Amino acid sequence: MANNKEKYQQIVNSEIYLTRILDNVVTGPQKESCWTLTNKKSIFWFNGTSIRAQIFFYYHSAPNKEIPIGYQVSAKCNNPYCINPNHLELLTRSAIRKKLINSGWQHSKATKQKMSKSHKGLKLSEKTIKKIVAKTTGLERSFETKDKMSKAHMGKKLSTKHRKKLSKAKIGKMPHPKTLAALKHFHIGENNHKAKLTEADVLQIRSLQGTISAYELSCVYPVTEDHIQKSIWKRRSWKHI
Ligand SMILES: [Zn+2]
């Protein structure tokens, strides 16, 4: 933790450490120039403990200073390897990010490539992939969870906006074959809300084909002569029986 002052107390007071860091620093020609760490080395080890050189100099310049939780030492000069105590300030992580981005800082090419690879899913570990798959297919949800979810959804109505979106997305799309099959079964024959005949009626009408005229049948059943001739006898409707 960057704000663990006690942990660093010993290091900060160490002469060996100070000289070791200063050995790796290039100072500018002026008094207020940056003190830049060489070789992009910003972390130093001492007795098994590591410390960032910026934190070291922040404490070293004024031992009474504290780094509150959530704050980090950062260089005002936007030089990430500067340890000039006069350039150092305390900022939150997000403030540091903002500052870096405003100063035109970007990820290195290698990092960008890594990021893009990871975004394409090329670098996902098998474990992560399994997790994602399990989540999206719902395999990870226990029966109890599903029950809870379905209960939570009960009686809930989608917002008008959401419903409009859904219906817009459905325009021009065929329903899933399974849905179609289910609908077909649901609407055919007697199940159709407009059906005037029962299946028994239709079978009766068919068996009478050739013995009684369609007109006579239309007087007995609540359908037209035309319907009997063209739809029932020619099997354009009630095909399933
Ligand atoms: Zn500086």
Are the beta carbons of 47 and 17 closer than 8 angstroms? no
User: For residue 218, how many other CB atoms are within 10 A of its CB?
Assistant: 17
**In the predicted model, is pLDDT for residue 3 greater than 60?**
no
CA of 87 to the centre of ligand 1 (A): 5
Q: In the numeric block, which tokens belong to residue 233?
A: 């006898």
pLDDT of residue 42: 85
How far is it, in rounded angstroms, from Cα 223 to Cα 220? 9
Longest Cα–Cα distance of the chain, Å, equals 119
Q: In the numeric block, which tokens belong to residue 14?
A: 């160490």
H-state helical runs in 53-192: 53-61, 93-102, 109-119, 126-137, 143-153, 160-170, 177-187
pLDDT of residue 2: 42
CA of 28 to the centre of ligand 1 (A): 9
pLDDT band at 5 (very low <50, low <70, confident <90, very high): low
**Which pLDDT tens digit goes with each residue over 164-202?**
888 888 787 777 888 777 777 777 777 777 788 888 888
**In the predicted model, is pLDDT for residue 138 greater than 60?**
no
How far is it, in rounded angstroms, from Cα 96 to Cα 190? 72
**Which pLDDT tens digit goes with each residue over 102-132?**
877 777 788 888 777 777 656 677 777 777 7
pLDDT of residue 1: 41
Portion of the chain with pLDDT greater than 90, in percent: 1
Are the beta carbons of 59 and 65 closer than 8 angstroms? yes
What residues contact residue 181 under an 8 Å CB cut-off, 6+ apart?
Answer: none
Q: For 140-165, b where at least 16 C-beta lie within 10 A, e where not — what string?
A: eeeeeeeeeeeeeeeeeeeeeeeeee
CA of 2 to the centre of ligand 1 (A): 20
**Which pLDDT tens digit goes with each residue over 10-35?**
777 778 888 888 888 888 788 788 89
CA of 1 to the centre of ligand 1 (A): 23
Q: Provide the pairing of β-strand 35-37 with 88-92.
A: unpaired
CA of 76 to the centre of ligand 1 (A): 7
CA of 104 to the centre of ligand 1 (A): 17
Closest listed residue to residue 7, CA positions, set 46, 42, 41:
46
How far is it, in rounded angstroms, from Cα 132 to Cα 98? 31
CA of 30 to the centre of ligand 1 (A): 11
What residues contact residue 61 under an 8 Å CB cut-off, 6+ apart?
Answer: 85, 88
Instruction: Compute the C-alpha angle 191/197/203, nearest 5°.
Output: 105
**What domains can be seen in the chain, in order of their start residue?**
5-109 (3.90.75), 178-233 (no CATH)
Q: Which residues pair with 74 in a beta bridge?
A: 89
CA of 77 to the centre of ligand 1 (A): 5
R_g of the chain, CA atoms, integer Å: 39
Hunting for tokens 């917002």 — which residue is that? 159
Element (H, E) at 218: helix 214-220
The answer to pTM > 0.85 is no
